Amino acid sequence: MNRGIWHALGAYTIWGFLPIYLKWLSQVPALEIVGHRIVWSCLMLCVFLLVTRQWLDFRAKALQLRVVFAYLAAAILLGVNWLIYVWAVNSNFIVEASLGYFINPLISVLFGVVLLREKLRRWQWVAVGLAAGGVLFLTFIHGSLPWIALALAITFALYGLIKKTSQLGALHGLTLETGILLLPGLAYLVYSEIGSQGAFLHIGMFVDVLLIGCGLVTAIPLLLFASAAQGIPLALLGLLQYIGPTLQFLIGVLIYGEPFTSDKFIGFGMVWLALLIFALEGFLSRPGNAVRVASPMKT
């Protein structure tokens, strides 16, 4: 395998095992974890830009008022997505969170139809309808919408929609987004510390290292993904994206013992079948059998 495939596998594997990392921080409130993730990832990304001599290029392209305003909505959506995901993992909803990232590509397709007036082929409609049927089935069986999955899928699909027309690459874009969130994140951490509610430097060195490491588990897979995107076809990258939610699902069921009843299997099965139909339809409909899939997930 070439280096791009290894980098993609590395990125999606890190994202897939992220629930275990977050579980180690279960005694820390979700909002504080997100605050540390914002602060440390922003600092590490800025250091990376300096070390790789990309800072001047980043400053010239990103630090303009119109670009900052364009990325404001993306930054807010990313922060909300992170908060919901961290809370879901540490509240024992890993399986439902994984469902969000399974249906995310199909939500993105639906947004393309509604907002960008893109057209779907017959079997693509079948895939979208089947996934919607799976969500409705889960809603009917459990008496409420799987709101965690839908919130994660919708916020990330909207984030992807904004990024589709963005002016910056993945690395520069995330650096700007975390920079936009930096002051609110710092403000919350300072407020927590003043109120004697902060975990950093108060629970133990292991937790302190993990909170600082939130920057690494954000920045490293992004850098691997950015490298992979340049080295392998988008089709292959899109297919590999399902490593992440698959690992999350298995971790939730096999390691943390989250319930996965036959009813859930039917609902999830409808979504998985929808994804299979969508992938096969794309493979068979493209010239030379080139697969067209949705943009990969970035937890």
State whether the Cα torsion 275-276-279-284 is positive or negative: negative
Give Cα 115 to chain centroid, integer Å.
Answer: 21
- Of 179, 225, 161, nearest to 67 by C-alpha is 179
What are the tens digits of pLDDT across the range 113-162? 777 777 778 888 888 888 888 888 888 887 778 899 999 999 988 887 88
Asked if residue 293 has pLDDT above 70, the reply is no
Q: Which residue has the higher pLDDT, 92 or 241?
A: 92
Which positions ≥6 away from 226 have C-beta within 8 Å? 169, 170, 171
Which pTM was predicted?
Answer: 0.85
Which positions ≥6 away from 253 have C-beta within 8 Å? 95, 260
Residue bearing tokens 């980098």: 7
Judge whether 151 lies within some domain: yes
Judge whether 294 lies within some domain: no
| Per-position DSSP letters for 129-175, written without gaps between them | HHHHHHHHHHHHHHTS--HHHHHHHHHHHHHHHHHHT-SS-HHHHHH
Judge whether 104 lies within some domain: yes
Give the length of the chain.
299
What are the tens digits of pLDDT across the range 209-243? 999 999 999 888 878 887 776 677 655 666 677 88
Judge whether 297 lies within some domain: no
- What are the respective helix, strand and coil percentages of the chain, to the nearest 5? 80, 0, 20
3 state DSSP class of 233: coil
Domain that residue 111 falls in:
3-289
| Per-position DSSP letters for 1-14, written without gaps between them | --HHHHHHHHHHHH
What are the tens digits of pLDDT across the range 184-212? 999 999 999 888 888 888 888 999 999 99
Judge whether 171 lies within some domain: yes
Tally the domains of the chain: 1
Q: What's the pLDDT score for residue 298?
A: 53
